[in-house]
């Protein structure tokens, strides 16, 4: 790892630099430092396209064969069909106590806020152009449950 870092008790703050010059911190357990030192390149903060979350990544290889890896998957040695969830929703907090292996549908239930394309700005509320009203549906274990049509959208928007 080529990044600067600071040890704060049993936690390490790794300093990440973005292309725009912004500096961010990644947290990891001090016991993971020897493993992280094996990474030959610089760690960087990468913003997930459709979410408001940053994750720590690093690249291996040159221009023609470059491959990107997530730090949290690297730390877990993760290759299964399950996903690694950041319990507190902060993709830069890679302390073991903040990571857990779960099913994808469980991870989706933990999402915060509305989808990035949302017209309503409220999670699980979408516009139904067929009836010109707001429609509410939720997913549980990959099954959709329709709650119904909202006539009073502003009331829901105020309860966010």
The SS3 assignment for 24 reads strand
Give the pLDDT confidence of 129-157 residue by residue, as tens digits: 777 777 777 777 667 777 666 555 555 56
Token readout for 54 is 């940053």
Between CA 102 and CA 107 the distance in angstroms is 7
Domains of the chain by start residue, with CATH:
5-108 (3.90.75), 113-158 (no CATH)
Q: What is the pLDDT of residues 73-123, one digit of tens each?
A: 999 887 678 899 999 989 999 999 999 998 877 776 666 666 666 677 777
| Global pTM exceeds 0.95 | no
Q: What is the pLDDT of residue 11?
A: 98
* Mean pLDDT across the chain: 83
Phi (first) and psi of residue 76, to 5 degrees:
-85, -10
**Contacts (Cβ under 8 Å, ≥6 apart) of 65:** none
Percentage of residues of the chain with pLDDT beyond 90 = 46
pLDDT of amino acid 160: 45
Longest CA–CA span in the chain (Å) reads 59
The residue with tokens 């016991």 is 31
Q: 3-state DSSP call for residue 19? A: coil
User: Which residues are registered as beta bridge partners of 70?
Assistant: 57
């Amino acid at each position: 790892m080529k990044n600067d870092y600071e040890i704060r008790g049993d936690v390490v703050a790794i300093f990440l630099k973005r292309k725009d010059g912004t500096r961010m911190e990644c947290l990891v357990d001090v016991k993971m430092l020897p493993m992280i030192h094996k990474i030959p390149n610089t760690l960087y903060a990468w913003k997930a396209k459709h979410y408001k979350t940053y994750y720590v990544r690093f690249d291996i290889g040159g221009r023609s064969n470059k491959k990107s890896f997530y730090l949290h998957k690297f730390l877990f040695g993760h290759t299964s069909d399950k996903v690694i969830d950041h319990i507190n929703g902060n993709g830069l907090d890679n302390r073991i106590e903040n990571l857990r292996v779960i099913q994808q549908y469980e991870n989706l239930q933990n999402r915060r806020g509305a989808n990035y394309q949302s017209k309503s700005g409220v999670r699980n509320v979408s516009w139904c152009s067929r009836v010109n009203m707001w429609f509410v549906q939720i997913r549980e274990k990959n099954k959709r449950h329709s709650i119904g049509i909202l006539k009073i959208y502003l009331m829901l928007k105020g309860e966010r």
